[in-house]
């Protein structure tokens, strides 16, 4: 290494990544321990630990107790999927955004969402997002009022739950599933398509640690496409999450 040693964990992460890509540390190679790296980089061991942990979470390193840290033999590239603000997604595509709240009620959720949210009443919302006046995505959502009590009085007739929750209910992690399905009669009517038309669906759950915030199903009008990023961390490790 030439020049001054890196100090921050991101800089250490960049240098470790450089050595992996340059094959200074080839696949399967056991890298120096945290104490040795901290001495080399002139930083605290905790700083090195954070950098290595991030690379392990990205699938580039394998960390085992008592066996040390080695470069992964088969690095796993992970797709990064963000939760978009639907309004911005539509506007970024050059379309005029429209939003309509179709239904709002307080009720016990059905079996699927109930397994996540619990048996008590939850806020149920059905809304339609449009682009240039045409249906874009149908949103059906259940919100846990025990986790987000402020949602009870939120103005969802004026702002979508998608946008409101991202601003008012920070989440720690989530689960997401993608599927293709045939539009039901009611979905087809709202999406201006024929019943049975293939549509793209996303089911997502977001959590605040151990408490579920919301369960949402998004049914997109025909023609929708999704774009993701493979988190190989080749350009800037800090961009992967």
Neighbours of 59 (CB within 10 A): 17
Q: What is the pTM of this model?
A: 0.67
Element (H, E) at 194: none
- CA 206 to CA 212: how far, in whole Å? 6
- CA 16 to CA 31: how far, in whole Å? 9
Confidence (pLDDT) at 206:
94
- The predicted model gives 35-41 an average pLDDT of 93
Residues in the chain: 241
Give CA torsion, residues 6, 8, 11, 16, to 10 deg. 80
Is pLDDT larger for residue 16 or for residue 238?
A: 16
Confidence (pLDDT) at 240:
29
String of DSSP letters for 8-64 = SHHHHHHHHHHHHHTTSS-TTPBPPPHHHHHHHHTS-HHHHHHHHHHHHHTTSEEEE
Over residues 57-91, the pLDDT tens digits come to 888 899 888 788 999 887 665 555 678 899 999 99
- CA 223 to CA 17: how far, in whole Å? 39
Strands 79-80 and 97-107: unpaired
Confidence (pLDDT) at 238:
31
Q: Does the pLDDT at position 226 exceed 80?
A: no
Residue 102, both tokens:
């179709």
Q: Does the pLDDT at position 213 exceed 70?
A: yes
């Amino acid at each position: 290494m030439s020049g001054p040693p890196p100090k921050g964990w991101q800089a250490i992460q960049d240098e470790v990544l450089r050595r992996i890509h340059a094959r200074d540390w080839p696949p399967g190679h056991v890298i120096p321990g945290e104490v040795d790296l901290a001495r080399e980089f002139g930083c605290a061991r905790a700083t090195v630990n954070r950098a290595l942990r991030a690379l392990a979470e990205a699938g580039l390193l394998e960390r085992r107790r008592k066996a040390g840290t080695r470069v992964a033999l088969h690095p796993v590239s992970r797709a990064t999927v963000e939760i978009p603000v639907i309004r911005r997604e539509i506007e970024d595509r050059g379309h005029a955004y429209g939003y309509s709240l179709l239904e709002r009620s307080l009720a016990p959720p059905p079996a699927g969402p109930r397994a996540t949210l619990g048996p008590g009443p939850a806020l149920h919302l059905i809304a339609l997002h449009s682009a240039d006046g045409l249906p874009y995505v149908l949103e059906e959502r259940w919100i846990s009022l025990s986790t987000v009590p402020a949602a009870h009085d939120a103005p969802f007739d004026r702002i979508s739950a998608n946008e409101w929750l991202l601003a008012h209910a920070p989440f720690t992690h989530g689960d997401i599933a993608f599927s293709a399905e045939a539009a039901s009669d009611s979905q087809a009517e709202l999406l201006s398509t024929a019943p049975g038309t293939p549509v793209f669906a996303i089911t997502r759950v977001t959590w605040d640690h151990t408490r579920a915030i919301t369960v949402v199903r998004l049914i997109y009008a025909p023609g929708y496409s999704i774009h993701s990023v493979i988190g190989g961390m080749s350009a800037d490790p800090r961009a992967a999450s």
